[in-house]
Amino acid sequence: MPALANQYRPYISMVEEFGDEVPSICHQVRALVAVDDGSGATAHRWDTTLSTAHRAKGREWPSVRLAADWSWLPLVVDDGWVNHEEADIAYVAVTRAIEALDPAPLEEAVSRARERLARL
């Protein structure tokens, strides 16, 4: 039975960490895989892989779309130094795409970093 419990541990941890936010997170995931089927109805493309950048290291996909939380990536810290750990993980994320990349949220983080450096 312990092996079965371990199988569900990530889900239990997610509920423990995010609690009431879980339904909203599930809705966001569904929105990421939604496609217009041309009839006005929404179909879902379930061949989508949802992954963290850390787990994506060493893997590639035809297209990659970064989630909205990338817009808050702290690329430059308050004293003006580049946050190398965050910059490295951003590099991993954007280099997973083979054919297409939607980096819009990361572009916001880069823009904020440039603004912060310009003020120093």
DSSP characters over 66-113: --GGGGG---B-TTS-B-HHHHHHHHHHHTTEEEEEE-HHHHHHHHHH
pLDDT at 30: 77
pLDDT at 43: 67
DSSP-derived 3-state class of residue 51: coil
Helices and strands in the chain, H and E counts: 5, 4
Domain boundaries, the chain: 1-45, 49-120
Residue ranges, the chain, pLDDT below 50: 1
Length of the chain: 120
pLDDT at 95: 94
